[in-house]
Amino acid sequence: MGTARAGIKHSGKKDLLVVYFEKPVLVSAVYTKNHFKASSVIYSKGLTDKRNLFRAFVVNSGNANCGTGKEGLKHAQMMAQRVAQNLGIKPEEVLVFSTGLIGALLPIGNVLEGIDKACSELKPLNLREASEVISTTDRFPKYAQRDYAFGFGKGAGMIHPNMGTMLAYIFTPAKLTFDTLREIHLRVTEKTFNSITVDGCTSTNDSFLLISLGEEEIPVEKIEKDTFEVAKKISKLIVADGEGATKIGIIEVVNAKSEEKAKALAERVATSQLVKTALFGCDPNWGRIAQAVGSLPQYPIDPDRLD
């Protein structure tokens, strides 16, 4: 990895990260379902829809490169080209990600100079430092490691499923087929980043990569277990760091007829402003939870069976 100060963040802190792989790695990617997507998401999704082997990715923080039209898309392409030029790889082998303020163009000259610097000072991946570099309003870094998976991420505001509002990158040393990697990725995403909320707002820049480094044969169940644990840890850290958050709530739905119904009920409770104010005020007002549960027309409940 390489890092740099590209002059995007007003604080003067590092705001550019390049992660490079010495050989092609297998990548599964999921992105925001918000229709108002950032230019970097449009660019990278265009690549991952067509191929799954990559050599590098670059992340800038402090500017979302969103709502920037054709110029923003051109800037994302320029970032990939500059990384490729520095590392001697193809532009289509480089993914691009951005996070930060929506609606402003990147200071692309500074960003390209930052890429040059980051690529000239590559070193082994440091999860904590990588998370700090891509952070925006985060109060602390988000990273985790298990035997067969490790990763880092960021996120504190615009946190809601589809995906969660964040960037996250998880790596496994395992040799996998793309189909197996994808299946693990989608299951883990649904159970972790697609199951958290802070403010009910789905970000324009959400991206989550699961990367197979192809180094060793590992039982699939061990890979999925550790990938899930890493994603769960990072997602909980994102919730704990929610902008203005003072409490963490875990919603459990027991004996629902389907996972779909359970998730819908849990999400309704989790996004209820009345439930949130009760938690903030340390007021165990169960009536607010009952109100939320009973407000889903597609999933009617029997009040007489309320325990």
Residue in 211, 210, 198, 160 with CA at minimum distance from that of residue 21: 211
Cβ neighbours of 280 (radius 10 Å): 12
Residue 204 in tokens: 């324009």
- What is d(CA 266, CA 292) in angstroms, rounded to the nearest whole number? 9
Q: Could you give the count of Cα atoms lying within 13 Å of 242 in the half-sphere of its Cβ?
A: 22
Residue in 247, 265, 141, 257 with CA at minimum distance from that of residue 195: 265
- Given 3, 32, 136, 165, the catalytic residue: 165
Active site residue 165: yes
Alpha-carbon torsion 291, 294, 297, 303, what sign?
negative
Q: Which residues are catalytic?
A: 165
